[in-house]
Amino acid sequence: MSLTIDKDDYIIVRHRKKPTLCFVLNAKSCRAVIEKTLQTDEPEHITYELEDVLCNVGPNPLDGKIYGCDVMPYKRTIETKKFGPILIFRDMEPKELKALQAAMKSVYAMYEKQASVDFLPLYQIHLCPKKGKYAGSYHAKLKVGEAFDIMKLHPDTFSDPIYNEYLIAHEFAHGLWFRCVPLNLRVRWMNLYQKRLKLSSVNEQHLADLCHEVVRYEGTLRDYMKEVAEDEEKLVIKEVLNYFKRYHVMSSDDIDLMLAHDSGKLADMWPTRAMLSETRPDISQYSLKNVEEFFAEAISYHFSGRILPKDVQKGIKATFLACRK
Ligand SMILES: [Zn+2]
């Protein structure tokens, strides 16, 4: 392959049989460093063979995947005492960085005053290009009893100061949860979360009536769901579909086939019990994902000065008190 390679290019090299992103240090002597190891204490240097170079993505590659390699070049690290090292994997306007640092400082002050900052400094904070539908994530890891937590931030932009504060307060709340909130209070948050999920059972008669209607209907179960069923009934039908999938390993096509040719058998197999779970979001829709997100949303809403439900306010008060001890 004839390829022009220059110093400071990123290239994908077949290294130990695997495509590997490398950063070229010296094109003449074919010296490069494995990009992934650049952020570690011991960057791994290699001498590549030209025939092993799969492609050259230049000195400033876009983020993405090439040959199955994640291309998200590491740029630099900002060392901070309070928060831990901030590793940058994206272009960052000085203005954005300033806005982010200001938000981190002000959120830190709020946590320090009201709750605790014992979960800081983190092992690493990553600033990444926009990825997926969420703006951040928190990875709690213990190695030989020590915390190696990583917070990843990947919003569209860091130029919105209000959003920065919300985002950091949310991700810090995960740190607080893992490192400072005592178990008895975690249980209290589980109860607060469960209160917002309403489980109701669908009775046998209801299910029998539905079965009768579906068998009489000229069409598939999915058509029935689309054209006849009301919103509440749609949830019941979804549960019926789940039941067939789970206990009879039947797809909705299988159900429709049986409905058309042996509806009596289908009626015999029809479920006699079903549970519905309805959510009652009173913080954010996202808060109902699980108890940790519920906690993180509550805490970040609290710090942004929004009014929270009474029981949640009390939970926060008790939690902060316990964290300060
Ligand atoms: Zn979260």
pLDDT tens digits, one per residue of 69-85: 989 888 999 999 999 99
Is there a single domain that holds both residue 181 and residue 209? Answer: no
Domain boundary among 69, 97, 119: 69
Q: What local confidence, expressed as pLDDT, does residue 38 receive?
A: 87
Q: Where are the beta strands (DSSP E) in 128-171?
A: 136-139, 142-143, 146-147, 150-153
Is there a single domain that holds both residue 158 and residue 298? Answer: yes
Q: What is the mean pLDDT of residues 39-53?
A: 92
- 153-192 per-position pLDDT tens digit: 999 999 999 999 999 999 999 999 999 999 999 999 999 9
Phi and psi angles of residue 37, each rounded to the nearest 5 degrees, phi first: -95, 0
Distance 143 CA to ligand 1 centre (A): 22
Helix (H, G, I), strand (E, B) or coil at 182: coil
Q: What local confidence, expressed as pLDDT, does residue 282 receive?
A: 86
Separation of first and last alpha carbons in the chain = 65
Is there a single domain that holds both residue 142 and residue 186? Answer: yes
Distance 101 CA to ligand 1 centre (A): 20
pLDDT at 2 over 60: no
Mean pLDDT, all residues of the chain: 93
Is there a single domain that holds both residue 109 and residue 173? Answer: yes
Flag whether 99 is in a domain: yes
Residue 308 CB contacts under 8 Å (≥ 6 apart), including other chains: 283, 298, 301, 302, 316
- Write out the two tokens for 261: 């040719």
Distance 178 CA to ligand 1 centre (A): 12
Q: Residue for token digits 């009934």?
A: 233
Distance 290 CA to ligand 1 centre (A): 9
Within 10 angstroms of residue 287's Cβ, the number of other Cβ atoms is 22
Is there a single domain that holds both residue 161 and residue 95? Answer: yes
- Write out the two tokens for 131: 């990825």
Number of domains into which the chain is organized: 3
Domain that holds residue 52: 10-69
- 257-301 per-position pLDDT tens digit: 999 999 999 999 999 999 888 777 889 889 999 999 999 999 999
d(CA 36, CA 39): 7
d(CA 112, CA 109): 5
Distance 229 CA to ligand 1 centre (A): 35
